[in-house]
Amino acid sequence: MKDNVVDLKIAKKKEGEKQPEGLDPNMVMTLAEFTAIMETYDAKAFAAVAINKEGNVIDTWYTAMPHCALIGSIEMLKNDYLMNQWLTELDEES
């Protein structure tokens, strides 16, 4: 029987690359896009999670909404995240 070896991809900081100070500019841009989408579609609620660089949840926020909508938003976020990770891995293998 042959052993299967899985090569785990670990992000590494490039030599000489500076860590941005303060908020990540990409995160700020994404937050601005999120705000624009909420305004465009007249959103009435949102759910959000803040995570630090170690991957720990700092805090969560949600506005008044039916519990089904909140749970549904969490499921959609989970599915989007997993699908993006899967597509990224496929691209890296190509």
Tens digits of residue pLDDT in 32-89: 999 999 999 999 888 888 888 898 999 988 888 888 888 888 899 899 989 988 998 8
Pairwise CA distance, residues 58 & 74, whole Å: 17
Element (H, E) at 74: helix 67-93
pLDDT at 37: 92
pLDDT at 74: 86
Extents of the domains making up the chain: 25-93
Pairwise CA distance, residues 35 & 46, whole Å: 10
Helices (H), 1-66: 25-40
Pairwise CA distance, residues 67 & 78, whole Å: 17
Pairwise CA distance, residues 31 & 37, whole Å: 10
Tens digits of residue pLDDT in 3-31: 555 454 555 556 666 665 788 888 899 99
